[in-house]
Every structure is written in C-alpha cells, then in structure tokens.
Chains A and B, each alone.
Chain A
Amino acid sequence: DGGITQSPKYLFRKEGQNVTLSCEQNLNHDAMYWYRQDPGQGLRLIYYSQIVNDFQKGDIAEGYSVSREKKESFPLTVTSAQKNPTAFYLCASSITGQGGLNTEAFFGQGTRLTVV
C-alpha cells in the first residue's frame, strides 16, 4: 500500500534531550513537509523540502532541524533549543507540479510529543 508513515505515534522526552521523529513515504512524491499543531490551533509550517538534499525553513523553524538525504525520508529533530516542544507533529508529502505548484498534501498519522 502506498502511503506516508510517521513513527512513533507517541513520544515522551525529558527536558534538554533531542528527539528525532521519523517520516517515510512510498508515494514517489518530491515535496515533503513538517507541521506542528497545538490544541485548538491550525497547522504551522516548520520545514519543507521540494527535492532531495534541499530544504527550507518554514514559519517556526527555530529549535528544529531536518535532513533530506533520500526522497522517501524526511526526519525531523526536535532539539533542546525548542522551548515548548509538546505538540502534535504532522508530516505530509505532495507532488511538485509545473511551475513549482504543489498538489494536495497527504498526511501521516502524526506523532504526539510530550515533554516530561
């Protein structure tokens, strides 16, 4: 089955630790995204990548880092510099069409990160 997979579903982190959230897709999509969602809020863009070995900061990139070494994978590291990391993290992918337009995004099931 084609799709986008995030792991783990739930993650607990101690303050001061870095953690890495996994995102893998087998849809052959060029573009991948990381969003953060806080309770009762919309999705805010953390990082995005249009092609392999290239990624750009979104609106709230501070305290996060990513890599895009393979087309299928776009892991997100939440560093200790992120002051309020408890949130729901969503990874998405889409096709990059003509003129750099992105088609609709397909989402993974998300990772709930809690700092304890």
Chain B
Amino acid sequence: RKEVEQDPGPFNVPEGATVAFNCTYSNSASQSFFWYRQDCRKEPKLLMSVYSSGNEDGRFTAQLNRASQYISLLIRDSKLSDSATYLCVVNRWLMDTGRRALTFGSGTRLQVQP
C-alpha cells in the first residue's frame, strides 16, 4: 500500500463547477499536511497547508480527518486557470531512520473546460 494515495483522475469539470479531491495516508503518526499545485513540466508550488480545524483561502478549502486518515481539497467556482495537477503531501515518519520526510502523492489531474 502506498504511503499517500490519491485518485489520479483526470477530473474534467466545466467552469464554475465545484470539485473535491481526497487523499489518504497510511501512517497515523504523520503530521503536517499540504496541498501543492503542479503545472505541466513545472515544479510543484504550495497551494495551502492543511490544519486540523480546516482552513480556507478564497475558493479553496482544505480539511483534515485524522480519525480516517485523509485530507481533502475543495475548489469552488472553478476557473480555467485551475487546470493543473494537485499533489497531496504528508510529513510522515520513516521508521527505519527515525526521521520525518515530506512524502508526495501521485497527484490528481484537474481539467477545467469552458
């Protein structure tokens, strides 16, 4: 089982639609969660951090559910410019090293259509 799993998509939605992505993680000791956005052939960039209480930034809302070990990203009123791949990131505990490292999911591709 992968440490961080995402539905690869693609999600094809019309402009103005609301779309939600989920991401599950396997290590219950994980702390610090993020959503990144990656445009084609570019480096990932931080979209938002995810807090236990949930957080919102404009049209974007992130939620964390520790009991079920998943995080979610909700995008409202989708724009054409939202088309990208969205990566879920977990700061997981690597048991064999006793260290933490940022681990990325494989990403969910979103295509917003006019």
A103/B99 in contact, CB under 8 A: no
B45/A107 in contact, CB under 8 A: yes
Residues on B facing A (Cβ under 8 Å): 6, 31-32, 34, 41-46, 49, 87, 89, 91, 94, 97, 99-107
- Minimum CB distance partner of B107 in chain A: A42
Q: Determine the chain B residues whose CB is within 8 A of the CB of A94 once the complex forms.
A: 102
* A41 CB contact (under 8 Å) in B45, B49, B89, B106: B106
12 further interface pairs, Cβ-Cβ under 8 Å (given A42-B106, A104-B49):
A33-B101, A42-B6, A45-B102, A48-B101, A50-B99, A56-B99, A57-B97, A90-B44, A101-B100, A102-B102, A104-B34, A110-B42
Residues on A facing B (Cβ under 8 Å): 33, 35, 41-45, 48, 50, 56-58, 88, 90, 92, 94, 99-110
B107/A56 in contact, CB under 8 A: no
If over half of B's interface residues share one DSSP class (helix, strand or loop), that class is named, otherwise mixed; here it is strand
B43/A104 in contact, CB under 8 A: no
- Minimum CB distance partner of A103 in chain B: B32
Q: Determine the chain B residues whose CB is within 8 A of the CB of A35 once the complex forms.
A: 104
A42/B32 in contact, CB under 8 A: no
Q: Which of B45, B89, B101: most chain A CB closer than 10 A?
A: B101
CA distance A35 to B43 in the complex (A): 11
CA distance A105 to B100 in the complex (A): 13
* A107 CB contact (under 8 Å) in B43, B100, B105: B43
CA distance A44 to B66 in the complex (A): 24
